[in-house]
Structure formats: C-alpha cells, structure tokens
Amino acid sequence: AQSVTQLDSQVPVFEEAPVELRCNYSSSVSVYLFWYVQYPNQGLQLLLKYLSGSTLVKGINGFEAEFNKSQTSFHLRKPSVHISDTAEYFCAVTKDYKLSFGAGTTVTVRA
Amino acid sequence: NAGVTQTPKFRVLKTGQSMTLLCAQDMNHEYMYWYRQDPGMGLRLIHYSVGEGTTAKGEVPDGYNVSRLKKQNFLLGLESAAPSQTSVYFCASSPAGGPHTRREQFFGPGTRLTVL
C-alpha cells in the first residue's frame, strides 16, 4: 500500500525567509506526486505536480518541488514567503486514480 | 463554470439522524471521490466512483453510503450519524483520458459536519 510521510507537522517561519516542507513516500507507489495547499476555511488547491520528465517542478505562487527517486522524496520549497502563504500543505501520491495524502504541514508566516 | 460544489456547507446532526451530502461538478469528469479530513490525519478516501452508476469503497467506508445516478452528481449518505463522523467532508473529481490527466483531482470547498 502507498504511504506518504510529511516530516514536519508545524513550520513557523518569518516573512521573506525561505521555507522547505519535507515529504517522503513509500517506494511501492507509482511516482505521480502532488502538493496541495489549503488556506484557512477553504478547500484544497493544487500547487504543483510531478508526473514525469524534469525532476524540478515549478508551481503557482513561487513554489517549487524536487522529485528525488533515490531518496523517495518530494520536498516543497519557496525562497521567500509572504504572510499570505500561511496555510496547510499536503503532499499526495496517486496510484491509478486514487490519492493518498500525508497528514499535512501547517505553515505559519510571521511578520 | 463553477467547478466542484458541495451542499450544504455546514450541518449539525444529533446521533442517529441521517443526512445526505451532495456534490456536483460541471467539468464532465468521469471520476468522483468523497474524503473526510480530520486533524493530524490528512484526507482519507471514503468512497469513489469511476463513472455514472458505479461506486467503490475507499479507505474508511464504514457508516457511509454513496450513489452516482448522474455523471455530474455524487451523493454521500449517513444513515445513522455517530459523533465519530464529525469531520470536514470534501468531494473531488478528476477527468478520464490519458494516464496523466486521470491523476489530478479538483476539490470542492468542503462540508463541515458536527454530530452531537
């Protein structure tokens, strides 16, 4: 069975500082990987996805992620965060048409 | 184009009551899903459907039933609500077609359900 581990449940960060959210997945899953963001009291929105090709994936709002097959990781990064990036972030993997989510990482950006 | 919509947005039930959550999508997607979101557990798949008239169990199906009588709608039913079903419920849909497009899901805004 597939599994996704998000290594940090809470990440506090100062405005304009960089942030990295860590995600590891089990090697038995198909390598279709996603990061979703959930702003307070809203549904999930796709940030970026890795399906194939270049291992560095760029998404919306200045986020990017790198797929590392040997380390079975898909870490999300942003070089300079804004207050508006305060949200919960979910890493997810798919097998066939079913998504398996990590537990989520709450990012709190402080001025 | 409204995307994925969910009705209602909020609901409070007493233990033992029943209710139906409605999900509608206007993107002509083949696949539809129901998830529940609980703190510290991410989203867990309850049931899903790969097309009109089909349904299948997900990770946590007990206590829920679903129906997909029309392609655009996916209903989630609770026959006898329990406090353990207090959660935020999300519906999602995804298109059929090539393997890449099958795997991206589009989410509704969620329904917050409290069972007392």
φ, ψ (nearest 5 deg) of residue A95:
-130, 125
Q: Which two tokens stand for residue B18?
A: 């029943």
Residue B5: exposed, middle, or buried by beta-carbon count in 10 A (0-12, 13-18, 19+)? middle
Say if A8 is an interface residue toward chain B (CB within 8 Å): no
B interface test, pick of A44, A45, A96 with most B CB neighbours within 10 Å: A44
Helical (H) or strand (E) element with B100: helix B99-102
Q: Residues B116, B13: contact at Cβ < 8 Å?
A: yes
Residue B100 pLDDT level (bands cut at 50, 70, 90): low
User: Is the CB of B44 less than 8 angstroms away from the CB of A102?
Assistant: no
B interface test, pick of A31, A93, A97, A101 with most B CB neighbours within 10 Å: A97
Percentage of residues in chain A having pLDDT higher than 70: 91
User: Is the CB of B42 less than 8 angstroms away from the CB of A90?
Assistant: yes
User: Is the CB of A51 less than 8 angstroms away from the CB of B108?
Assistant: no
Say if B76 is an interface residue toward chain A (CB within 8 Å): no
Upstream peptide bond of B8 is cis (omega within 30 degrees of 0): yes
- Mean model confidence pLDDT for chain A: 90
Say if B2 is an interface residue toward chain A (CB within 8 Å): no
The long-range contacts involving A43-47, CB below 8 angstroms and separated by at least 24 positions, are: A43/B4, A43/B90, A43/B107, A43/B108, A43/B109, A43/B110, A44/A90, A44/B43, A44/B90, A44/B92, A44/B107, A45/B107, A46/B104, A46/B106, A47/A76, A47/A89
**A window 22-51, beta carbon within 8 A of B:** 32, 34, 36, 42-46, 49, 51
Residue A49 pLDDT level (bands cut at 50, 70, 90): very high
Say if B60 is an interface residue toward chain A (CB within 8 Å): no
Say if B50 is an interface residue toward chain A (CB within 8 Å): yes
Q: How far away is chain B from the Cα of A94, in angstroms, using its nearest Cα?
A: 7
Q: How far away is chain A from the Cα of B65, in angstroms, using its nearest Cα?
A: 18
Say if B77 is an interface residue toward chain A (CB within 8 Å): no
Identity of the residue numbered B113: L
pLDDT at res. A32: 86
pLDDT at res. A26: 85
pLDDT at res. B8: 96
* Cα–Cα distance for residue pair B110/B43, rounded to 1 Å: 12
pLDDT at res. A29: 56
Residue B55 pLDDT level (bands cut at 50, 70, 90): very high
Q: Residues A4, A90: contact at Cβ < 8 Å?
A: no
A52 vs B contacts (CB less than 8 Å)? 100
pLDDT greater than 80 at residue A2: no
